[in-house]
Amino acid sequence: MISEHPASLVIFALKFAALWLGMSVVLSAMSGWYLLQRLYPHVTEDQLNTPWFNPTWGGALSRRGWLRVSAGRSGLRLEALKIFAPLDRPVTIPWSEITARRIGGGNRVQLAFGTTGIFITVDAHACDAVAPLVPNWPGYSV
């Protein structure tokens, strides 16, 4: 059946790619990613060798499992996996713009970014490992 209509397979692939791209743009807009891109451009620097375990995107949309988080001296770097968000650029949020609040009995930390209302939640021991390496993180205490 596919060999009878090769053009239909190409049309299906193009429609699927357009739908995937369109949905990724809508989901990125809903999650506030484009606001973060505008406020916090990416800073290229060596990242600290620190663990970040299962970050969870806060708010109306979850990005659990497709968000990479790493720490640098100038800030926290967030990067969405390209397969899920092909148009999303990495962002680096300065430590001075991040406030931390322990939740879930103290084993998770909610990191809020400036006054955007956007936050992620990470394991507390990841923040505890990063905090001593980042002297300019006023919004965190162990």
3-state SS of 95-116? HHHEEEEEEHHHCEEEEEECCC
Q: How many separate domains does the chain show?
A: 1
Within 13 Å and on the Cβ side, how many CA atoms surround 82?
Answer: 0
Determine, yes or no, domain membership for 12: no
Confidence (pTM): 0.74
Within a domain: 13 = no
Q: Is residue 45 part of a domain?
A: yes
Could you tell me if 138 and 96 are in contact, meaning their C-beta atoms sit under 8 angstroms apart?
yes
* CATH number for the domain that contains residue 62: 2.30.29
Q: Residue 48 domain-assigned? A: yes
Residue 24 domain flag: no
Domain that holds residue 107: 33-133
pLDDT values of the chain reduced to their tens digit, one per residue, 142 residues: 455 677 888 899 899 889 988 888 887 777 788 888 889 988 777 666 665 655 666 554 555 567 888 888 888 888 887 777 777 788 999 988 998 888 888 888 888 998 888 888 888 888 888 888 777 676 676 5
Residue 55 within a domain: yes
141 within a domain of the structure (yes/no): no
